[in-house]
Copies of this chain bind each other. A is one copy, B any other.
Amino acid sequence: MTTTKSSFREWLVHCYPVIEDALEHSIQNTSLSCAPRVLREACSYALLSGGKRIRPALTLLACEACGGESKQALDAAVACEMIHAYSLVHDDLPCMDDDNLRRGKKTVHVAFGEAEAVLVGDALQATAFEILASQKDPDKAKKMLYHLARASGPSGMVGGQILDMEAEEKELSVEQVSAIHRAKTGALLEASLCLGAIAGNGNPEHWKEFGWCLGALFQATDDVLDATQSTEDLGKTAGKDAEAKKATLVSSCGLDGAHALVEQWAARAEAALESLSLTLHKDILLDLPRFLRDRCR
């Protein structure tokens, strides 16, 4: 899948069919294939209802950038997207963000029921680990499993979600909001790159700083988008952060402040890239902060 594309948007377009195909196959090639019908359907709905597929695209990108072939990273890419999909299903639950709309469609608990949505998340998490544990190379599998489990667990994504809930109706500093972002969003983006690096025989540790900056950038633009765009444009309910009195970068330093931080993190991400020894795709990686930043312009 080596390519001469130079923008991340082109990379996404390039990867999209491969990733969609791998995600669809994951329903047939894992425990999901022999799951009770309603669970399989609800998991497919959660996993295959659109989404930009940024995380799996990052996994394939990091793999090729380390000199690997992206097909070596496809399982890892699917596992990262499954963890992401499960987190969205649980985040949307009535007891959490209580969201009825996701990517312009009914959320899983609205379409299938609340208990079913809890179980869909649980099943997708287990299946992500099953996929990684099904890989041939035990060393790589173990490393990937370790990175993904830590990124998605209590000091990563799940911990970030708790911090985010605790921060409601509180005034937080930019540093505190950034720490929440790092755990809630950054950890999984970082892991998506690290798993790709492992697949491509690179060193996952080298990718952490870049991954961290991308995570900060990503969540910051999300905060800005939630405050400035319409529900129709977003494909999910807009203005939820302010309504729920969530601590966001916009609430802690205003729209201009949030925009300035986005620029700072983009610069730091670019600097982090310079310290990586890349075999390929430097252009696409350099374009990534711009891609994320441009969402909120």
Contacts and interface: CB of A to CB of B under 8 A. Distances in A.
A155 B118 contact: no
A129 to B, nearest CB: 4
Contact of A165 (B115, B129, B138): B115
B118 A93 contact: yes
Interface string A158-190: 110111011000000000000000000000000
Nearest to A40: B154
Contacts of A31: 149-150, 153-156, 159
B121 A96 contact: no
B39 A154 contact: yes
Contacts of A146: 130, 133-134
Contacts of A129: 129, 145, 149
Contacts of A154: 30-32, 35-36, 39-40, 43, 123, 126-127
A138 B139 CA distance: 5
Contacts of A126: 125, 149-150, 152-154, 156, 158
B122 A158 contact: yes
A13 to B, nearest CB: 31
B138 A115 contact: no
**For the complex formed by this chain, how many copies does it contain in all?**
2
Nearest to A131: B149
Contacts of A165: 115-116
A234 interface: no
Contacts of A36: 154, 159, 162-163, 166
Interface string A34-73: 1110111001000000000000000000000000000000
Interface in A64-98: 86, 90, 93, 95-96
A270 interface: no
19 contacts: A31-B154, A34-B155, A35-B162, A36-B163, A38-B162, A39-B159, A90-B118, A90-B119, A116-B162, A121-B122, A122-B122, A123-B158, A127-B149, A127-B153, A130-B149, A130-B153, A132-B145, A133-B146, A145-B145
Interface of A: 30-36, 38-40, 43, 86, 90, 93, 95-96, 113-116, 118-119, 121-123, 125-127, 129-130, 132-135, 138-139, 141-142, 145-146, 149-150, 152-156, 158-159, 161-163, 165-166
